[in-house]
Amino acid sequence: MPFVTWARSLPPPLRRWAARAVHWTGDWVAEAGAIGPDDDRGRRFGYLGPGACLAYPQGALFNERYISIGAGTVIGPHASLSAGMAPGQEMVTDPVVRIGQRCLIGRGSHIVGHWQIELGDDIQTGPYVYITDQNHVYADPDVPVGQQWPVESPVAVGSGSWLGANVVILPGAVLGAHVVVAAGAVVRGVFPDRCVVAGVPARMVRRWLPDRGWVDVGRGSPTDQAAVDQAGTPVDLSPA
């Protein structure tokens, strides 16, 4: 068979032994390379709570002393956490990035803080989520966008929320508690507690009303929409 690799052409007993050795080595490297609060790399963080873990391999990590991660939070592999634009940069705020307790940040995600990113407790994300509090501007049409000074606006995600795969959270976004963000949504603006947002740009599509349960927004009856509007848009960022 011309397309069989060298390794797959080994005799079955030898191939099984080699496979066990490779997987054992990979498991050992992943275990040894994880970062916890008692590790040398863990002590670089402003705070890394008991039971918190950054899975191996990590993405870009720098200026960890401006990053706070609560107890029991797990950061998936290939995730990047940074404060500022370059290692060694002195930041104006401290912490720049705060992640609460018992969160789960999906693999390949990026949390890039420059001013203030606050994630509450018990937040989960899918893979490849991007959260930032800084963005480029294009006010001057004669200057390349990348050369114009970016602006920052704080970001907050309330406790108990879920961010689907490939969600982008832009500067100034404020999500209440127990918010569901659909996969692929691009979010900016303020959203209330216990709602579902989706789309590009994201908009609220469902909301929980104490006397009605879950109500569709924008697609329901005029009565449903009036009930949602009357409920207002309070945002509670306290722990769940």
The CATH number of whichever domain residue 175 belongs to comes to 2.160.10.10
Does 22 fall in a domain? no
**pTM for the model:** 0.87
Partnered with residue 117 across adjacent β-strands are 97, 155
CB 101 within 8 Å of CB 95:
no
How far is Cα 217 from Cα 196, in angstroms, rounded to an integer? 9
Alpha helices in the chain, H assignment, sequence order: 12-33, 222-231
Which structural domain range is residue 82 located in?
34-231
**Torsion angle (degrees, nearest 10) of CA 8, 9, 14, 18:** -30
CA angle 25, 26, 27 (to 5 degrees): 90
| Residue 19 confidence (pLDDT) | 86
Does 236 fall in a domain? no
Reduced to 3 states (helix: H, G, I; strand: E, B; else coil), residue 91 is: coil
Report the number of distinct structural domains present in the chain: 1
Of 134, 49, 130, 122, nearest in space to 93 by CA? 134
- Contacts of residue 235, defined as CB under 8 A and 6 or more positions apart, other chains included, come to 158, 174, 175, 176, 190, 191, 192, 193
CA angle 150, 153, 154 (to 5 degrees): 140
Reduced to 3 states (helix: H, G, I; strand: E, B; else coil), residue 206 is: strand
How far is Cα 185 from Cα 182, in angstroms, rounded to an integer? 6
Its sign, for the CA torsion 178, 166, 118, 206, is negative
Average pLDDT for runs of 10 along the chain of length 240: 66 85 92 95 97 97 97 98 94 97 98 97 98 93 92 96 98 98 97 97 95 81 48 46
Does 238 fall in a domain? no
Q: Which helix (H) or strand (E) holds 130?
A: strand 130-132
Does 159 fall in a domain? yes
Task: Identify the DSSP state of 32.
Answer: H
Does 10 fall in a domain? no
Does 130 fall in a domain? yes
| Residue 219 confidence (pLDDT) | 57
Does 14 fall in a domain? no
Does 11 fall in a domain? no
